[in-house]
Amino acid sequence: MNVVAEALAWVMDPEKWSGPSGIGPRLVEHIGYVGLTLAIAVAIAVPIGIAIGHTGRGREVVVPFTGALRALPTLGLVTLLALLLGNGIVPPLIALVVLAIPPILAGTYSGIEAIDPDTRGAARAIGFTTGQSVWRVELPLALPLIAGGIRSAALQVIATWTVAAFLPLGGLGRFLIDGLAVRDYAQMLGGSIVVIALALAADLVFILIERVITPRGVRAQR
Amino acid sequence: MTWLLANLDQVAQYALQHLVLAVLPTVIGAALSLPLGWLASRHRVGRGVLLSASGLLYAIPSLPLFIVMPALIGTQILDPINVVVALSFYALALMLRTSADALASVDADLRLAATAVGFAGRQRFWGVELPTAGPVLLAGLRVVSVSTVSLVTVGALVGVQSLGYFFVDGYQRGFALEIAVGVVGTVVIALALDALIVLAGRALMPWTRKGAR
């Protein structure tokens, strides 16, 4: 239990939080990377998912593709792109966006597909155009499942940016990778505790968001 | 290509280690998910507690979990056991919901019929409930095995040898082909294991074969 005490002392030490490579700035970097990755992935995956769910076309292309992506090792993809495209944040960002797309895509098209055809018919019957039906009926009904997809993607992205610290990048993974290099287990364990806390906090925030954005009518049915 | 031929021995050795590091947690996690899933399928409160716990467990990122393991079970940081135990937890977390749902989906009438013809307790579980839940369990197992094979590679960052070693070594030497070999090898292992599970499922559950009905 000695090592745990040392790691907690490391996390609690105010000096470790400040400075350009302190826990505070690394935490901000990590959240920034994750937010950027998710924003790009959402901007790509949600429109495609809506199109697939709404038209029912393209499913047979996308489903096996997203399944195959699951088998791809994230560390391999990140290191390979870094070698091929050079240093900086862009190569790992591309790799992580690719990894974040499948769960968001799956959440979106299954959310739209799950809508009762009668509901969609009713929207058309009261005079909604296709665009209005998508924006004002289908999207709000699909939101909980879309948020669920973003939640899975977020957890995966938080984990993979930690692993990506193997490259010369910022983020919380630095403490884990650098700690191992100098055999400073207290720093590795302390850094791990901060990453785990971040992941669990993100998970809880997404659970709350899913609750809040579930339309009242849908909630009543469940 | 010459690199691959020259290093075939090492690739084969790491592929084998990779396979062992992936199969062990998959089997351990799936085996543990049965009694816990059974518990969750029988008790409403138990289901809530177990599924929430496995959800939180699955939210923990892999590399930090590998690093926390020595503090929890008293191993050395470079010990492969850390990776096996951590991945077993993930496999269990991923498999538990499937097991609970699969066992809960066994028709109550079927259970009564089994009881009526003399199956009881353990015999009924192994002879009737488990085979009936089999196809769903198999689908869950496939997801677990693919994701475990991929996660094993992260262990390379804490010195646990698998095909993931080629990502670390290839990057440090600036040699993209080596990384590509590791990526392709990992995908091949994932697909091979998946095919094996599907074949085992057909052998063990002949009634699920196409045209068997």
Mean pLDDT of B167-181: 91
Which is it for the CA torsion A35, A41, A46, A49, positive or negative?
negative
pLDDT in tens, B80-109: 999 999 999 999 999 998 998 888 888 888
Contact residues on chain B for A189, CB-CB shorter than 8 A? 67-68, 71
Average pLDDT, chain B: 89
Cβ distance of A76 and B71 shorter than 8 Å: no
pLDDT value of residue A222: 46
Which tokens sit at B113?
A: 């019929």
pLDDT value of residue A1: 55
Quote the minimal CA–CA distance from B134 to chain A in Å. 22
Residue of B nearest to A70 (CA): B147
Query: Given a cut of 90, is residue B153 above it in pLDDT?
Result: yes
Predicted confidence pLDDT, tens digits, chain A (222 residues): 588 888 888 878 888 788 778 888 899 999 999 999 999 999 999 999 998 888 888 777 777 777 777 788 989 999 999 999 988 899 999 999 999 999 999 899 888 888 888 888 898 899 888 888 888 888 888 898 999 999 999 999 999 999 999 988 888 999 999 988 888 888 889 899 999 999 999 999 998 998 888 877 766 554
pLDDT value of residue B25: 96
CA dihedral A60, A66, A70, A75 (to 10 degrees): 140
pLDDT value of residue B66: 92
pLDDT in tens, B111-150: 888 888 888 878 888 888 888 888 889 989 998 999 999 9
Contact residues on chain B for A69, CB-CB shorter than 8 A? none
Q: Which of A79, A152, A174 to mutate to test the interface with B (most CBs of B within 10 A)?
A: A79
Residue of A nearest to B181 (CA): A76
Q: Residue A190 carries which side chain, given as an amino acid letter?
A: G
Domains of chain B by start residue, with CATH: 2-202 (1.10.3720.10)
Map residue A150 onto helix, strand or coil: helix
pLDDT in tens, B6-47: 888 888 999 999 999 999 999 999 999 999 988 888 888 888
- Give me the residue from A82, A159, A163 closest to B171, CB to CB: A82
Domains of chain A by start residue, with CATH: 25-221 (1.10.3720.10)
pLDDT value of residue A55: 83
Quote the minimal CA–CA distance from A15 to chain B in Å. 22
pLDDT value of residue A220: 53
